[in-house]
Homo-oligomer: A and B are copies of this chain.
Amino acid sequence: MTALKTSAGVLDIVRALAAGEALPQDLIAASHARAVALEGELRAFAHLPAEAPAVTSGAGPLTGVAVGVKDLIATADMPTTYGSAIYVDHQPAEDAYVVGRLKDLGATILGKTITTEFAWREPGPTRNPWNLGHTPGGSSSGSAASVASGSVQVALGTQTLGSVLRPAAYCGVVGLKPSHGTIALKGVHDLSQSLDHLGLFTRSVDDVAFVLSLLAGGPGAARRTIFPFGVAGVAPFPAPRIAWLRPAGAPALEDSQVALMEMAAARFAGSGANVQAVTLPEEFAELPAISATVCGAEGAANFGDLVARFPDKTSARLQALVERGAAIAATDYLAARAAQLALRAEFTRVLAGFDVLLTAPATGEAPEGLGETGDPGLCVPWTTIGVPAIALPAGTGPRGLPLGIQLVAPFGEDVKLLRVAKWCEGALAYPPRIAPGA
């Protein structure tokens, strides 16, 4: 019996266990050992137990799978700080829905991964595993870094602006944000309820689809989607019709990201897709302002008391969010909410005749330094209208850091998005790779 490669993903583990080629506890021990070995420099974890956790269920669909859980998400057996100095000793009484579900499925929570403060902008210490001088992105910083460096096969993240797809792109992994309301947020700290999404990091489309199929739903989930993705992997959606959106205006793409998008579009067209350049109706330009209004008001409502009570334990960035949000009129907030839902519906009409939209998930390579987590602007429109979006790794930039693409589908078209993503993954022929980590 030999150990699996570090690059082995969820379905690799499922198959190896089924074939008797590995033992769950050995797999978890290997994941844990790698996480521990990398942690000194990578700083992906807010909490990483000193010993490998024991595998308690030998028969679940995710047995042997190591999962990193963003430290915005409650765990009953590990601290949960929300990335905040206020909660440095916090230990919730109950697991979040999604954590309990993972445990029920046999998965092992390897540790809690670093989040920015309350998933807002104040960075944690995590470094990009491809270049330790660069940010991994945020707010799901540790989740992206731990999947990219091979310590875990899956990590949970959340996205309110661009906190799953942007770090996924920066770290060269798959990042998925399903339609708003697909996975129950019970036990996940609110940032902005009308924008918050649970999302997933893996290293392949098959893995992310499999895990989403197992996690979707739960108490309070607004949607009840049946995801038909099992251990056989995702059936590619053949010859998809792809609407290619070159972002206009800020934030501008780096040359290498522009070139990557051209390469991807050409590759898809060459593989049989119908790729057409599109522009969006003018009103979509309002989405950043809509996002700012909704997130500002809801953020101020969520954090106003904390900021007032703990001026020394909240960041200037969080205080600025509260200050800005407190000045928003309820009528402006309600108008933004109405526009948000109207544009969600309008996006379905805009994409009529196409299966997905292709665009950039980030402006380019992860920025240098750890003081900022990069610009979420290329994810914000899709998060705001709550539509499913996925980032796929597709190349590298001039500094050797990963570059990705983003695929977006109309609200509720998560299954099709994943099937198209599987096809695109094949056309890109850019297999999963593990970051050196240190």
A: residues with CB less than 8 A from B are: 293, 296-298, 300-301, 304, 325-335, 338
| Contact residues in B for A304 (Cβ distance below 8 Å) | 331
Bound Cα distance A301, B334 (Å): 6
Copies in the complex: 2
Chain A contact surface mostly: helix
**Told that A304-B331, A330-B332 touch, could you supply 7 new A-B pairs with CB distance under 8 A?**
A296-B330, A297-B331, A301-B330, A301-B331, A301-B334, A325-B330, A330-B330
| Contact residues in B for A300 (Cβ distance below 8 Å) | 330-331
| Contact residues in B for A325 (Cβ distance below 8 Å) | 330-331
Tell me the smallest distance from the CB of A178 to a CB of chain B, in Å: 21
Bound Cα distance A296, B333 (Å): 13
The answer to whether B326 and A329 touch across the interface, beta carbons within 8 angstroms, is yes
| Contact residues in B for A327 (Cβ distance below 8 Å) | 329
Bound Cα distance A427, B326 (Å): 53
| Contact residues in B for A333 (Cβ distance below 8 Å) | 297, 330, 333-334
| Contact residues in B for A332 (Cβ distance below 8 Å) | 330
Tell me the smallest distance from the CB of A185 to a CB of chain B, in Å: 15
Nearest chain B residue, comparing its CB with the CB of A305:
B335
Sample of 24 A–B contacts (CB below 8 Å): A293-B330, A296-B330, A297-B330, A297-B331, A297-B333, A298-B334, A300-B330, A301-B330, A301-B331, A301-B335, A301-B338, A304-B331, A325-B330, A325-B331, A326-B329, A326-B331, A327-B329, A328-B329, A328-B330, A329-B329, A330-B330, A330-B332, A330-B333, A333-B334
What are the 4 closest A-B residue pairs judged by CB atoms, nearest first?
A297-B330, A330-B333, A301-B334, A328-B330
Nearest chain B residue, comparing its CB with the CB of A293:
B330
| Contact residues in B for A326 (Cβ distance below 8 Å) | 329, 331
| Contact residues in B for A338 (Cβ distance below 8 Å) | 301
Bound Cα distance A330, B296 (Å): 9
| Contact residues in B for A328 (Cβ distance below 8 Å) | 329-331
Bound Cα distance A332, B298 (Å): 10
| Contact residues in B for A335 (Cβ distance below 8 Å) | 301
Nearest chain B residue, comparing its CB with the CB of A337:
B301
Nearest chain B residue, comparing its CB with the CB of A328:
B330
Nearest chain B residue, comparing its CB with the CB of A296:
B330
Bound Cα distance A8, B342 (Å): 45
| Contact residues in B for A334 (Cβ distance below 8 Å) | 297-298, 301, 333
| Contact residues in B for A331 (Cβ distance below 8 Å) | 297, 300-301, 304, 325-326, 328
| Contact residues in B for A293 (Cβ distance below 8 Å) | 330
Nearest chain B residue, comparing its CB with the CB of A294:
B330
Bound Cα distance A333, B335 (Å): 13
Tell me the smallest distance from the CB of A348 to a CB of chain B, in Å: 16
| Contact residues in B for A297 (Cβ distance below 8 Å) | 330-331, 333-334
